[in-house]
Chains A and B, each alone.
Chain A
Amino acid sequence: MAHTVPMSPARGPAKAKTAATALAANRLGIPSVTYFVISMGAPMTIVVGAVTTGYSVTGLIGIPLGFVVMGIVLALFCVGYVKMAPHVPNAGAFNAYVSKGMNRPLGVAAGWGALLAYNGMQIGFYGALADASGPLFRDWFGINLPWWVLALAGWAVVAVIGLQHIDLSGRVLSVLMITECAVIVLFSVACLVHPANNTVTFDTLSPDNLFKPGAGVLLAIAVLGFVGFETAVVFSEEAKQPRRTVPVTTFLSLGAMIVLYTLGSWAMSVATGPDNVVQQSREHGTDLIFFIARQHLGGALADIGRVMYITSVLAGLIAFHNAAARYKFSLGRERVLPAFLGKTSQRTSSPKTGSITQSVLALIVLLVYAFAGWDPVVQLFFWWTAGGSFGILLLVALTSIAVVGFFLRHPSPDSTWQSLVVPIIAAIGCVVSVALVLANFAALVGVDEDSPLRWGIPAVYLVVGALAVVWALTLRTIRPHVYATIGLGAKSVTGTGLGLGNPDQFLDQPTDSWQLARR
């Protein structure tokens, strides 16, 4: 060969770049990850949809306190969670933590459970979409569309976007999220400067609420708001400084969500007066906050708020759709779900079959609801998301135990406090929360104690979990090589069947680049 060819003949300036700088340039910083995490929580949807519906369905006024208490429990949980993240090959998926910290059969149960929870949550959000867009169509265009037409239109958008491997880009998310937060703060301030009876009350934040019947309900509604808080660790392989970006982002977004949700739900109760908030929520439904905003801020701002409610639900739908599709892909790759779910699109690298099956499931549910004439807000949005958030809470509790289990076996040399003391407190908090939610499940979904939903929804998780454990034990006997890679997600490397080295050896090493073997 006669001449030396530069590294990148097509791009002149690229010659000077080094691998380290090129890789760093492509990594994410704290703001982008924070936007992503908070947007997954869909703040507007929570404050407008879940809080109001929560007040009206449960008849409890302690919802703001629920956000504070659950937020603290989750923050404690996150201490150990982010500390363990570098040791987990498929960080961001609860099942990976459970597989590693407890055992593989429970890991499979966690995987199936997570999928179910995200399924439920995503499908439930279609109810909120119909609820968010209906009034606007009525007021702006004078057309009164059935809710399911709107839901199906949203479904088509999400189905197409889901196949494109488009997560809303950092820029779109940041604009949407900042506007949403600004609207919530503005509306809250408007509520606070116009309190009912001219007194700002703190009844809905009073610790008394925790000792009244139904405290568990408050926690479940709060969990719904925080869903997505676990996703910052997904970015540990893409973050600029994983050891800093991931913990900072996790606590930053959790903190922001606690403030936003508590403020939003408390302000609403101040504007109506704590004694009237339940009755007003029942009267106005999810329009309550816009009704208040219209009085104090004018129709234009109220309309902006309603548009943000729609974009918020849509962003949440897309995020949950992708989360469910990714769980299916990971589990399909691990071969603990049928392998076809691990298939991807060559053109877009999206988890194709995971995405399509999610769309089909959602379509079936929407059609059933449309034909049966069931209510989109309470029976679709609230029931399904409440069921989903109960599932997420279960997973958080399981993961919190797994974190303790992991650090008992692999004591962290630098901090017993972060790796053991706080995680143990967090695990107790999570388990107690699960017990409280379970005890109050009927009140949560607003049904009688003898309704089939009361035990039916929790039982679904139990049945699925039990089946998963049985399946994992079966795999151990009939396909030991599949059993060995449980919890590794895409890193299970089942396509070529080669596996990523000895999984146990691999699992015990931190996975971020900076810790691996040096030359």
Chain B
Amino acid sequence: MQLLLADDFFFTAHDDTTGRIRLSEGRAGLGLGGALLGELLLLGSIDIERRAIVVRDAHPPEDSLARAVLEQLIRDESVTTVRDWLHYLGQDAYEQVAQRLLRAGHVRATQTRKMLRTQVVYLPVDINVAAWPAARLATRLSKREPLSTADVVLSGLIAATELEAQVFQYDSADIGRYLRQLLTTLPSPLRALLSETEAAVGDAVLSHRR
């Protein structure tokens, strides 16, 4: 069973057993925002030209979240750059993708208390489902097997958000070179998406605000 790109990224961004998130809120948002745009690119709904998003096919996608994102891209035409959309989508992407996984029955919401604050944590319902994206990538990458386009984008997002060491652990050094080789074979809009995501993650480090 194959999940959507952002769902896959959501699981790789969390420890599959504890459900602990592996990156900061802001960075997770950028990664998930990138993944949501990636879903639309893979569907052919949008394209990226000169660092801006262009709508190619306004036909609504099947998934309701992808549909909502596309509708917004069409509606808010004053905002065009991938950079701005990443920042905008990044604000709510975590919650939205979690809700999608919740509706599909892949995660359950539990409340935890952390530093006197009550927080909702999304735990995987089935550990195998949660661990599958990372395991799938690790196996294929380490055997130098071909990957689906969606999986190449997923590994690109993992690299862009500096998650490689955590997701692939001992294999990461070994996998790295082949992964980068695959990335260069992606169509240029998808490469542009990954570049923009990595640049946004880096700019957030340079930002004077969290």
Residues on A close to B: CB < 8 A?
1, 3-11, 14, 18-20, 22-23, 26, 36, 92, 165-167, 169, 234-235, 237-238, 322, 326, 329-330, 333, 343-351, 489-491, 493, 495-501, 506, 513, 516-519
In the assembled complex, the CB of B128 is this many whole angstroms from the nearest CB of chain A, namely 25
A346-B23, A348-B210, A501-B51 in contact; A9/B194 too (CB < 8 A)?
no
Q: Which residues of B contact A19 (CB under 8 A)?
A: 72, 76, 78-79, 84-85, 88
**A496–B24 CB distance below 8 A:** no
A491 to B176, CA, bound (A): 20
**Which residue from B62, B65, B78, B209 sits with its C-beta under 8 Å from A5?**
B65
Q: Which residues of A contact B206 (CB under 8 A)?
A: 92, 234, 326, 329-330, 351, 489-490
**Chain A's interface: helix, strand, loop or mixed, by majority?**
loop
**B51–A517 CB distance below 8 A:** yes
**B72–A495 CB distance below 8 A:** no
A333-B202, A347-B24 in contact; A9/B192 too (CB < 8 A)?
no
In the complex formed, the residue of A with least CB distance to B190 is A498
Q: Which residues of B contact A499 (CB under 8 A)?
A: 195
Residues on B close to A: CB < 8 A?
22-24, 26-27, 49-52, 54-55, 62-65, 67-69, 72, 75-81, 83-85, 87-88, 91-92, 95-96, 99, 103, 156, 159-160, 162-163, 166, 180, 183-184, 191-192, 194-196, 198-199, 201-210
- Given A322-B208, A500-B199, 17 further pairs, Cβ under 8 A: A7-B92, A7-B96, A9-B96, A22-B91, A92-B206, A167-B208, A169-B209, A329-B202, A345-B24, A346-B166, A495-B159, A497-B183, A498-B195, A506-B51, A518-B52, A519-B55, A519-B77
Q: Which residues of B contact A501 (CB under 8 A)?
A: 51, 192, 195
A496-B160, A517-B49, A519-B55 in contact; A14/B85 too (CB < 8 A)?
no
The number of A-B residue pairs with CB atoms under 8 Å apart is: 169
In the complex formed, the residue of A with least CB distance to B176 is A497
In the assembled complex, the CB of B121 is this many whole angstroms from the nearest CB of chain A, namely 14
Q: Which residues of A contact B184 (CB under 8 A)?
A: 497-498
**B80–A518 CB distance below 8 A:** yes
Q: Which residues of A contact B201 (CB under 8 A)?
A: 349, 490
In the assembled complex, the CB of A506 is this many whole angstroms from the nearest CB of chain B, namely 8
In the complex formed, the residue of A with least CB distance to B199 is A491
In the complex formed, the residue of B with least CB distance to A93 is B206
A348 to B204, CA, bound (A): 10
A496-B198, A497-B180 in contact; A513/B72 too (CB < 8 A)?
no
**B80–A519 CB distance below 8 A:** yes
A19 to B79, CA, bound (A): 7
Q: Which residues of A contact B156 (CB under 8 A)?
A: 496, 498
**Which residue from B96, B159, B195 sits with its C-beta under 8 Å from A8?**
B96
**A498–B49 CB distance below 8 A:** no
